[in-house]
A and B are shown apart, each in its own frame.
Chain A
Amino acid sequence: MNDKSGWGDYILYILGAVAIGILARDINAIARLPQEVNQGAIFKIIFFHVPVAVTAMLAAAVALVASVLFLITRDFRFDALAVAVTEVGLAFLAANLITGSIWGRIIWGQWWAWDARLTSALVCWILYASYLMLRRAVEEPTQRATFAAVWSIFSFIDVPIVIFSIKWWRTQHPQPVFWGGGSFPSDWLPVFLLNMLAMVLLAIVMTVVRVRQENAQRELDSLRRTAHAM
């Protein structure tokens, strides 16, 4: 291991292994926890549903910062970070929407409700998915990065709406456990926080891998231009 990239790979593998290890350990810990008296076992989906949601919202915030920085500096490294973190956040948000839907089927008796939280989260997913589609539609790299950055900033408007919708409107989605007057047993909290840490670590590892791919894609584009010019 004598170059920077080698050490980077090594650290990345360790972080990924730590994240997977924590998640595997937590599945065992979650299974051993007692059931919630009203909702039963399905309540335990909160250990995944909330961490993936928080990770997705963090990803959106990073994408916003990266997009603003790209527009200021025109440095393509920020564009690579924005696309990488958006794609990873989209996967986490999909996991959030689907686990929520499965919880709703048991508790509400229906897979989906068009309330403010669920609808704004779905709109958020569509906005960031359209960000990726927009990138595919524009050929010229600088124009593509500029349009995408503007779209990413616009898309972020929905993120506070997703977060605060349950406070601003009456929703079918329950009030938050941690900042809405609910309570969480103290012995459940370490498992929850560890799961949160693991999800964020996993997202960081995925984002770094994706940024490298974006750099490789740029190298490939440059090689293609050279080949075309010859």
Chain B
Amino acid sequence: MNLQSIPLLFAQMTTPDDLVREAARLQRNYEFLSYGLTVAWVILVIYVLFMVSRGRKLKREIASLKAMLEDRPKP
């Protein structure tokens, strides 16, 4: 894989149209990169929030059932 800096890329271009096209391509690339990273993070954050809410629900249900069992008169 060949890596070059952006100024070098721009220096290789000849016409103003090339420069405009390349700038648009870079902009689009960055946009989609940010979408990708955002989506990856959002999926993981949603899953964590889902786990937190399920954990809370479980704790609540266990506590209420335990309280109910303690309140019941033993046979």
Interfacial residues, chain A to chain B (CB-CB below 8 A): 27, 34-42, 44-45, 48-49, 52, 88, 91-92, 94-95, 98-99, 102-103, 105-106, 177, 182-185, 202, 206, 209-210, 212-213, 216-217, 219-220, 223-224, 226-227, 230
Contacts and interface: CB of A to CB of B under 8 A. Distances in A.
Given A27-B37, A99-B40, A227-B65, A40 B26 contact: yes
A176 to B, nearest CB: 13
Majority-rule SS of B interface residues = helix
Contacts, number: 107
9 smallest beta-carbon distances between A and B, as pairs: A40-B29, A41-B29, A102-B36, A91-B47, A223-B65, A95-B40, A216-B58, A99-B36, A42-B29
Given A219-B62, A224-B65, A41 B40 contact: no
Contact of B47 (A27, A40, A102, A206): A206
A213 B56 CA distance: 10
A40 B55 contact: no
A14 B29 CA distance: 35
A213 B36 contact: no
8 contacts: A34-B4, A45-B36, A48-B37, A91-B47, A92-B44, A209-B55, A220-B62, A220-B65
B55 A220 contact: no
Interface string B50-61: 010011001101
A95 B66 contact: no
A217 B55 CA distance: 9
B2 A213 contact: no
Contacts of B21: none
A227 B1 contact: no
B8 to A, nearest CB: 9
A185 B3 contact: yes
B28 A106 contact: yes
Contact of A34 (B5, B25, B32, B44): B5
A48 B3 contact: no
Given A34-B4, A99-B37, A106-B28, 18 more contacts: A27-B37, A34-B6, A37-B1, A37-B9, A41-B26, A41-B33, A42-B32, A95-B40, A95-B44, A185-B1, A213-B54, A216-B55, A219-B62, A220-B62, A220-B65, A227-B65, A227-B68, A230-B69
